[in-house]
Amino acid sequence: MYRPVALALLLFLCACSSGNSDVPLPQAGVSGPGDGELLQAVSLDGRYIDSIRIASEGWESRAPGQEVTITFEAVGMAQVRQFEIVVKASPTSAFALDGAVFRPQAPFITPFASGIEQGDDGTLRLGGASLASAVTGDQTLGTLTVSTSSQLGNFTDAILRVTLISIGPSSQDRERYEGEELRFGVTVN
C-alpha cells in the first residue's frame, strides 16, 4: 500500500529542478537544509509557472531608513495573464509600509495607484495583469520597494515573507501557492 505512494513522491521530488542541474531549487512545502531560513528561489512546478526567485540585489543588509527593493522573477511561465503576490512584513514596525510601492514590469500593469493594496495586519498585496497578451517564458514580474523604519535596529530579524503566490491565465483559472511552507522571502538585517 505504501510503495505506490512512496514511488510517486520520489518521482515527484526528482522532477523538481531549476533546469540547471548544478543548482536545484527547493520545492515549495518540502523541507530541506536550513528549514528555518527563507529561500530566495522556490520551485513551484505548476501548469503556469516552473519557479520564482528574488533577484540577489537590493535587499541585503539594510540600516534604518534605507530602501529595500525586491525584484520578483518568474521562470517557465505558460499563458500567464495575471498574478498576485502577498508579502507579510514582520515585525511591521521595522518597515515604513505606508510608503511601499510595487512597479510591475511590462506587459503587466497594476490596478492600484501604488501597485499595492495594504492590509491591516502588515500584509502587502501586489499584483499585475497583462491586457495585451499572455506571457510565456521567463519574465520579471515587478519590483517591490519599501523603506525600513527607524525601529529596524531594535530587531534581530526583520522579514518580508511571501505568503501567497497566485498566477494563471485568468481570475478563474489560477494556481495558488500559500502559507508558511513557501519559506520564500528575505531577512533585511
pLDDT of residue 100: 95
Residue 7 in grid coordinates: 514511488
Q: Map out the domains of the chain with their CATH numbers.
A: 39-187 (2.60.40.680)
pLDDT tens digit at each of 189 positions of the chain? 333 333 332 222 233 333 333 334 344 443 333 446 889 999 999 999 999 999 988 777 678 888 999 999 999 999 999 999 999 999 999 999 999 999 999 999 998 788 999 998 999 999 999 998 999 999 999 999 999 998 887 776 889 999 999 999 998 999 999 977 788 999 887
- The residues, any chain, with a CB within 8 Å of residue 61's CB and separated by 6 or more, are 188, 189
pTM higher than 0.75 for the full model? yes
Q: What are phi and psi of 13, to 5 degrees?
A: -65, -35
pLDDT of residue 139: 96
